A and B are shown apart, each in its own frame.
Chain A
Amino acid sequence: MAAKSTSLFNGAITRRAVVESFKKLDPRIQFRNPVMFVVYIGSILTSGLFIQALFAHGEAAPGFILAISLWLWFTVLFANFAEAMAEGRGKAQADTLRKARRDTPARKLAEAHRDARVQSVSATTLRKGDIILAQAGDLIAADGEVIEGIASVDESAITGESAPVIRESGGDRSSVTGGTRVLSDWLMIRVACNPGETFLDRMIAMVEGAKRQKTPNEIALNILLAKLTIIFLLATVTLLPFSIYAVNAAGRGVPVPVTVLVALLVCLIPTTIGGLLSAIGIAGMDRMIQKNVIATSGRAVEAAGNVDVLLLDKTGTITLGNRQAVNFIPAKGVTVEQLADAAQLSSFADETPEGRSIVVLAKDRYKLRGRELSSMHAQFIPFTAQTRMSGVDCDGRKIRKGAADAIAAYVAELGGVYPDSVKAAVDEISRRGGTPLAVADGPSVLGVIELKDIVKGGIKERFAELRRMGIKTVMITGDNPLTAAAIAAEAGVDDFLAQATPETKLKLIREYQQGGRLVAMTGDGTNDAPALAQADVAVAMNSGTQAAKEAGNMVDLDSNPTKLIEVIETGKQLLMTRGSLTTFSIANDVSKYFAIIPAIFVGIYPAMGRLNIMHLATPKSAIMSAVIFNALIIIVLIPLALRGVKYRPMPAGKLLLQNVLLYGVGGLIVPFIGIKLIDMALVAMHLA
């Protein structure tokens, strides 16, 4: 995101949130949150009792009722404020995004041809399947797939990354996003979606929280909170008849006033978590966006917290970029120059980094120059996932390079022999963790090119972290098993899938899911799309193809495959924050009982004064202190709700212990101190 708000309480957002908190007093909005709705009703009820006390004989002193009533309204407003703060931060980001969604003119082509008739139309009229042309300086009018051309594109409006990126037809860099700008050259683009459904639109809706639906865990938690609220409602409502009995039995005192019952109820029901619940959810999405990950739903973020298995593409994720050719090893009876020549010849048209590195290695080491290919009637055979080979047919030669077993099958088909010396070289390279690429000319195998992977620095530590979280990492690679094993060992992944094809990837994911595991994967290519669609949490790279982005449920704008780890952390934080605040909220009730129960019954049974273990000044100050504490704690915890509970990878048991001590035991103790301090303050201010 271009404009990340780093400070939690940004002035403009806070001001807007204050206004919003009052707007949210609308009963229709309040009704959505059962816990806070009870507080809301309580506020209205006590306000009514205050008015009654003013003009008629009230159940308690009007000043006391007013004070309680005001603090109940504050409780509602503080909860509203928390939600408004979370939303406000999202809105600020949405506004930045909206600037990119200007109504741009588009050059619509009548047909998919560079010289076709151009018609200038508004971007909003573009439909899926239309072909448009974007030239240097143009804003790209819509999301789409490049079908022709290559250009550098400035995507900073979306990703916040100022360096331009290359977009070209075919391959994995063919998708473009509406609102980005072409800097050089031109692109012919097939529009991929209708207006209003563009990536930018979805992103804005997401950050604004407009489309935010409650996640499954949130729903379950809401059920628990609602049930707790009902229990406390009953526990307090029945206190009225109980106290009537007590008054009769003791022959003194008065039944508990309704105002006090409402105060007790509000203190007991889980307002802390109830008031912060939606803020936590919104803030979670917001944190994802700050990490430059756009999730299509909150459900996906939450699911990320549950991931058991993480599938990672080797290339670009575990290893640095691409493999480099480092050596030519000829077969017996073949000179190294012959091999280098054939390898170079087969790679001229191979635009992959590996292919280029072969050309370069041959040139540097054996002074082989580029040749005029057109004179050789060369026909290039592109790489496919099925053949796992590429090559060239020219001058009657059929040069192929590819995975060792693919070449072996190829020569066998042509009646050739796969020599043992090559086999030995292949094994040796694999053992070293390199990638062997066999080269054949017709039925004879010329030798092997050694490609080498370089494992990214620091990746091993990341995987160890994942292991501590209980997540299994699986490396996916097209390499043969030997190579894969060597790299897997070097990178420290738990498992690997070698010689992966789209089918085997999909099968692997299904197997894990069948076993009850939740699978996450990252991908960028079109051939990743089926696997992404199958995975429970699928992060598509923004640099990837449109198909991959459609199939995933998150898009990483930075196109950084290890981002998944942060996504998982955010998902976990989201749940942990909810759980911890729920615990805190319920643990708080113990001290509130000790403040309020003696206070309301001491008039009937003076012996109850012995339960006033906090030595609160008067019954009224005790009740006030509990109510004020209950309201203020919401404000105090807003930063925690927005930032999330800290997550450090460790086994679940340890994590639970830490949070139970912090939020459970802490939740028991803190309010005793807080309520006592507020009581002392009230006394000091002569309000008690």
Chain B
Amino acid sequence: MTPNAWIQILAFLVVLVALVKPLGAFMARVYEGQPCGLDKPLGFLERLTYRVAGIQPDQPMNWKTYAIAVLMFNLLGGLVVYALQRLQGFLPLNPEHLGAVSPDLAWNTAISFISNTNWQSYSGETTLSYLTQMLGLTVQNFVSAATGMAVLVALIRGIRGRQTDHIGNFWVDLVRSTLYILLPLSFVLALILVSQGVVQTLSPYKQVSLIQPVSYVQSTTNAAGKTMHQTVWVKHQVLPLGPAASQIAIKQLGTNGGGFFGVNSAHPFENPNPLSNFLEVLAILLIPAALCYTFGRMVGDTRQGWAILAAMLIIFVPLMIGCVWAEHSGNPKIAALGVNQQSSALMSGGNMEGKETRFGVTDSAIWAAVTTAASNGSVNSMHDSFTPLGGLVPMWLMELGEVIFGGVGSGLYGMLMFVIVAVFIAGLMVGRTPEYLGKKIEAFEMKMATICVLVPPALVLVTTAIACVTVMGTSAIANPGAHGFSEILYWASSTGNNNGSAFAGLSTNTPFYNIAGGILMWVSRYFLIVPTLALAGAFARKKQVPVSSGTLPTHDALFTGWLVATVVLIGALTFLPALALGPVVEYLHLWH
């Protein structure tokens, strides 16, 4: 690893952590219904929405009503995204005259975007009209993120509630998340991105003349069944355009990750230079990190939020460094072919397959770790071509359950489930009925928390198992040997944890992968949201136990370490055999 790599890692972390408190405090104000500065210019929209919708903003819901509201809103969103894809041929804002999306792909994409996964079995520029991108996907980029944040806030209200049924009002949380947090941040980021070269236009795709025309041989079969070879000269290049910047801003901020273009943030029109790259990668972790502070603020003890953030960083930073290191180490078999992989002032070096020159291995590896720690899934390099250990990092970060930052809202509520498990065991070890923030952890809480911890790995393991022994599964594999297994495992880990990044060699635009992936994304999103809200309801009804010296402190270094151990151990024990058969054995083969 080069000094520059260390500097870049440090710079990223410093800027990220510095933004946690200001943004976290701002979000706490938004959720507490306090004036946040933006309610002056945007408040009329909020009030208008409530009036038209007949919402009493000060009327809180119990957990069941909250859950019904979440599910109903998401179902509606799914139907609309599906319909837009199927009907886009008849709708406006379709300059390239793209036709209807196939039913299985449309289902997969609809679930993918409402569940904040943004798995893409398609390329945006060849499949979706501008209208579908805007009214379907951009909208879901906002509201699926806001849904996650709302559920988190409901859980926080449950934790601090005292013998009440109420955990807040979903509509209020949804609208305020969107209007005051996601929209302003996206607006600013979108404009900065445009200034760097991210496209933002409704014009049709642009054709340019090539400096050096290129030829290729086209083989066609004529009516007589004879194969004809024909040299085709290509003199033009078609540049796909579209309202990309506005979507990319929210795609990163809302940990969505669905690219406007097929190659996602590797596409120069999505991510034109290292500065735009820095801003985008920062935007990915910004809200998940800041929500830790919001959490601390809202439960009345910011140390609790910092402790969770610290636990996330303790797991994240070494893995990110490991990924950067692995990619810098390059590929020994390529070095043997007379290739220079040594990093220097004149080149990035390292394992450059599937990476962009402007990002080099450092920014690509940092991004890979960030996008999988958060449930973002956008890529600026191709994870499939990473070195075995470099690819293990993003895979394992997802398999940890998307709780190391994770999705906006969903990452923290997922982490809180691990906190509950950690508190439970630690609480027993100090000889008291375990409690977290004054709430006793009893059988029901344990049941809900373990469901949340159990569901994603169960989904991942079972679907990987099905896919790796069936033709419909293995026929999609692009790379032979153990790496092929990694591709399937990565796919399942990504969809089963609502991440959305891919080992993109796997051809997943098939009915099997589209349908199975849709089920995975659906289950891992909503089968976690409902228990989380049930837990919020159960917490809210409980008494608050006051703190004494017999209470296990959950804000100190020891507990943070214990939480880290819990997350890592569960993640490791669940996936060690599978990882051994994928990246680990590939590493052993490549290097020994």
The answer to A–B direct touch (Cβ < 8 A) is yes
Q: Which A residues lie at the B interface, using CB under 8 A?
A: 216-217, 219-221, 223-224, 227, 230-232, 234-246, 249-250, 268, 302-303, 305-306, 308, 467-472, 515-517, 571-576, 578-580, 582-583, 586-587, 589-590, 593, 597, 601, 605, 607-608, 610-611, 647, 651-653, 655-657, 659-660, 663-664
Given known contacts A220-B442, A607-B588, A241 and B576 CB-to-CB distance under 8 angstroms: no
Question: Judging by beta carbons under 8 Å apart, are B428 and A268 in contact?
Answer: no
In this complex, the interface size class of chain B, counting residues with CB under 8 Å from chain A, is 35 or more
Q: What residue of chain A has the Cβ atom nearest to residue B565's Cβ?
A: A664
Given contacts A216-B442, A470-B551, A659-B430, 19 further A-B contacts (CB under 8 A): A217-B434, A227-B453, A231-B454, A231-B574, A234-B457, A242-B464, A242-B581, A246-B482, A517-B546, A575-B427, A575-B431, A576-B431, A582-B425, A590-B573, A593-B577, A653-B559, A655-B431, A656-B430, A663-B429
Q: Which of B169-177, B196-204, B379-387, B465-473 is near enough to bind chain A? A: B465-473
Q: Which 5 A-B pairs rank lowest in CB-CB distance, beginning with the nearest?
A: A470-B550, A579-B428, A572-B431, A579-B429, A607-B588
Q: Which of B305-313, B334-342, B443-451 is near enough to bind chain A? A: B443-451
Q: Tell me if B333 counts as interface (CB < 8 A to partner A).
A: no
Q: What residue of chain B has the Cβ atom nearest to residue A660's Cβ?
A: B562
Question: Judging by beta carbons under 8 Å apart, are B438 and A516 in contact?
Answer: yes
Q: What residues of A have a CB within 8 angstroms of the CB of B549 in the complex?
A: 467-470, 651-652
- CB < 8 Å: which of B428, B429, B468, B588 contacts A605? B588
Question: Judging by beta carbons under 8 Å apart, are B427 and A249 in contact?
Answer: no
Q: Tell me if B544 counts as interface (CB < 8 A to partner A).
A: yes
Given known contacts A235-B573, A242-B468, A308 and B425 CB-to-CB distance under 8 angstroms: no
Closest chain-B Cβ to A466's Cβ sits at a distance in Å of 10
Q: What residues of B have a CB within 8 angstroms of the CB of A656 in the complex?
A: 426, 429-430, 552, 558-559, 562
Question: Judging by beta carbons under 8 Å apart, are A590 and B574 in contact?
Answer: no
Question: Judging by beta carbons under 8 Å apart, are A578 and B548 in contact?
Answer: no
- Residue among A227, A467, A590, A597 facing the most chain B CB atoms (10 A cut-off): A227
Question: Judging by beta carbons under 8 Å apart, are A652 and B446 in contact?
Answer: no
Q: What residues of A have a CB within 8 angstroms of the CB of B545 in the complex?
A: 308, 516-517
Q: SS class of chain A's interface: helix, strand, loop or mixed?
A: helix
Q: What residues of A have a CB within 8 angstroms of the CB of B581 in the complex?
A: 242-243, 245-246, 601, 605
- Residue among B458, B480, B482, B585 facing the most chain A CB atoms (10 A cut-off): B585
- Residue among B480, B578, B580 facing the most chain A CB atoms (10 A cut-off): B580
Closest chain-A Cβ to B526's Cβ sits at a distance in Å of 19
Q: Which B residues lie at the A interface, using CB under 8 A?
A: 421, 424-434, 438, 441-443, 445-447, 450-451, 453-454, 457-458, 461-462, 464-466, 468-469, 474, 480-482, 484-485, 543-546, 548-553, 556, 558-559, 562, 565, 569-570, 572-578, 580-581, 584-585, 588-589, 592
Q: What residues of B have a CB within 8 angstroms of the CB of A308 in the complex?
A: 545-546, 548, 550
Closest chain-A Cβ to B523's Cβ sits at a distance in Å of 14
Closest chain-A Cβ to B392's Cβ sits at a distance in Å of 14
Closest chain-B Cβ to A377's Cβ sits at a distance in Å of 58
Question: Judging by beta carbons under 8 Å apart, are A305 and B433 in contact?
Answer: yes
Closest chain-A Cβ to B163's Cβ sits at a distance in Å of 10
- CB<8 Å pairs between A and B, sample of 9: A220-B443, A227-B454, A232-B574, A235-B578, A246-B485, A268-B573, A583-B425, A610-B588, A652-B430
Closest chain-B Cβ to A663's Cβ sits at a distance in Å of 8
Question: Judging by beta carbons under 8 Å apart, are B468 and A245 in contact?
Answer: yes
Given known contacts A235-B573, A601-B585, A610 and B461 CB-to-CB distance under 8 angstroms: no
Question: Judging by beta carbons under 8 Å apart, are B421 and A224 in contact?
Answer: yes
Q: What residue of chain B has the Cβ atom nearest to residue A236's Cβ?
A: B577
- CB < 8 Å: which of A249, A303, A516, A653 contacts B485? A249
Distance, CA A647 to CA B429, complexed state (A): 10
Distance, CA A329 to CA B337, complexed state (A): 109
Q: What residue of chain A has the Cβ atom nearest to residue B488's Cβ?
A: A245
Closest chain-A Cβ to B586's Cβ sits at a distance in Å of 9
Question: Judging by beta carbons under 8 Å apart, are B552 and A652 in contact?
Answer: yes
Question: Judging by beta carbons under 8 Å apart, are A216 and B433 in contact?
Answer: yes
Closest chain-B Cβ to A138's Cβ sits at a distance in Å of 45
Question: Judging by beta carbons under 8 Å apart, are B430 and A610 in contact?
Answer: no
